[in-house]
Amino acid sequence: MKKSLAKDLWITGGLVVILLAMIFVWVFFVGVSTGKAGDFFNKGKNAIWIAHEWAAEKKSDAEVRKLVSGLSAHGISTIFLHVGPLDEYGFINSEIYKETVGFVEKVRGIDPDMKILAWVGQVRGKLDLSKVAVRHNILNMCMIFTDMIGMDGVHYDIEPVWDNDEDFIKLLEETRAQFGGSGKILSVALAEFIPSSFIWWTESIAGYQNYNTEKNYSNVAKYADQIVDMVYDTGMDRAYVYRWFMKEQVIWVGDLLGGDVEFLVGIPAYGEGEGHNPRVENVENALLGVLKGLNDIRSNEENFTGIAVYPEWEMSEEEWGAYDVLWGK
């Protein structure tokens, strides 16, 4: 009798474990979806990275109007204008952004509500943020772009940054202090979020080198007004895997940030490159993943701000068409 009871309990316990495993797989890998279309989630607070030529070359009123009107029609309300890159001392030569004032004035005349952020970046191998003088020079550049040229803020794309990256966080802290209560926007681009509990798998199995856990996302959120999660160059070679990963980014990061800062997801529109397969990582597939995330019952859509397209100069008519179908208002 006791053996029979033990056997029944063992079988029941095994069935419970199997059921829980099935629920886990269903919730985290299949998902429970509400099925809403993109226009339900699109708040018109989307962004795009645009080329350096708009800062360096004089553009006609017609050229700027075509750019701005087109972006506005697609629900883009923030422009990341490439004004850099920073040199090793933290400076940007004024010759390479000499037409920025004219561009900003033209944009203001066409669409006063369009936000223009100075896209400031460099790779860490060329930029030592541990040096006080370098950070000081970067802050001076930020002051030029915001206070003198009249841009709405700064978008830092300094790569890579790490969980214990005290120098980068110090730069954000100093930038926040400089902006004070001026209303200027501090935007930061970060590599994909990977939960700290997945780090061993991420490094040992997937081979990821550039990623951020909840530690760095939380540290950056203390100072930033906006965080852009750059979900590309993942090395993934299966479309469904990339869609799943994008879905989880929307859920994980939205939950982590909790609506305290603007949260945008960066999607790719460029061709073949290292770690990037455009047949997998593209506008349409990325947006399908975003929609899966926003529709998932684990997601809090209120914590999601919008899409950031990288980059404008690679967007084809076909890609804009896919964007409008999936995400347009």
Q: pLDDT at position 198, please?
A: 65
Q: In percent, how much of the chain has pLDDT > 90?
A: 81
Query: What distance in Å separates the CA atoms of residue 200 and residue 205, rounded to the nearest whole number?
Result: 8
**pLDDT at 329 > cutoff 90:** no
Per-residue pLDDT tens over the stretch 213-223: 999 999 999 99
What CATH number does the domain containing 149 carry?
3.20.20.80
| Domain span holding position 15 | 1-30
Q: Return the structure tokens found at 268.
A: 């790719």
Q: What is the mean pLDDT of residues 295-314?
A: 96
7 CB burial (10 A radius; 0-12, 13-18, 19+): exposed
Name beta bridge partners: 154: 118, 186
Query: What distance in Å separates the CA atoms of residue 279 and residue 15, rounded to the nearest whole number?
Result: 41
Q: Return the structure tokens found at 315.
A: 């967007």
Q: pLDDT at position 250, please?
A: 98
17 and 42 inside one domain: no
**pLDDT at 253 > cutoff 80:** yes
Higher pLDDT, 204 or 145: 145
> What stretch of H or E contains 23?
helix 2-25
Higher pLDDT, 271 or 2: 271
279 and 241 inside one domain: yes
Task: Band the pLDDT of 9: cuts 50, 70, 90.
Answer: low
Q: Which residues contact 86 (CB under 8 A, 6 or more apart)?
A: 92, 120, 121, 122, 127, 138, 141
Q: What is the pTM of this model?
A: 0.90
**pLDDT at 37 > cutoff 80:** yes
Number of domains in the chain: 2
Per-residue pLDDT tens over the stretch 283-296: 999 999 999 999 99
**pLDDT at 307 > cutoff 50:** yes
22 and 59 inside one domain: no
Contact, 50 vs 313, CB < 8 A? yes
**pLDDT at 210 > cutoff 70:** no
Q: What is the mean pLDDT of residues 5-22?
A: 53
Helix spans in 147-303 (H) = 166-179, 199-201, 214-221, 239-257, 283-295
6 and 148 inside one domain: no
Contact, 311 vs 270, CB < 8 A? yes
26 and 40 inside one domain: no
> Out of 5-19, 26-40, 144-158, which region has the weakest mean confidence (pLDDT)?
5-19
12 and 109 inside one domain: no
Q: pLDDT at position 12, please?
A: 56
253 and 295 inside one domain: yes
> Out of 6-10, 81-85, 208-212, 319-323, which region has the weakest mean confidence (pLDDT)?
6-10
* β-pairing verdict for 76-82 and 185-191: unpaired
217 and 244 inside one domain: yes
- Please state, as a whole number, how many other Cβ atoms lie within 10 Å of the Cβ of residue 245: 18
**pLDDT at 34 > cutoff 90:** no
> Out of 138-147, 200-209, 255-264, which region has the weakest mean confidence (pLDDT)?
200-209
Q: What is the mean pLDDT of residues 131-151?
A: 98
The maximal CA–CA distance of the chain, rounded, in angstroms, is 91
Nearest to 116 by CA among 12, 20, 187, 164: 187
Conformational region of residue 90, where left means phi above 0, alpha means psi within -120 to 50, and beta covers everything else: left
102 and 168 inside one domain: yes
Per-residue pLDDT tens over the stretch 313-323: 999 999 999 99
24 and 90 inside one domain: no
175 and 279 inside one domain: yes
Q: pLDDT at position 199, please?
A: 66
97 and 120 inside one domain: yes
Task: Band the pLDDT of 25: cuts 50, 70, 90.
Answer: very low
- Please state, as a whole number, how many other Cβ atoms lie within 10 Å of the Cβ of residue 213: 18
Task: Band the pLDDT of 196: cuts 50, 70, 90.
Answer: confident
- Please state, as a whole number, how many other Cβ atoms lie within 10 Å of the Cβ of residue 80: 28
Task: Band the pLDDT of 21: cuts 50, 70, 90.
Answer: very low
Average pLDDT, the chain: 90
Q: pLDDT at position 23, please?
A: 46
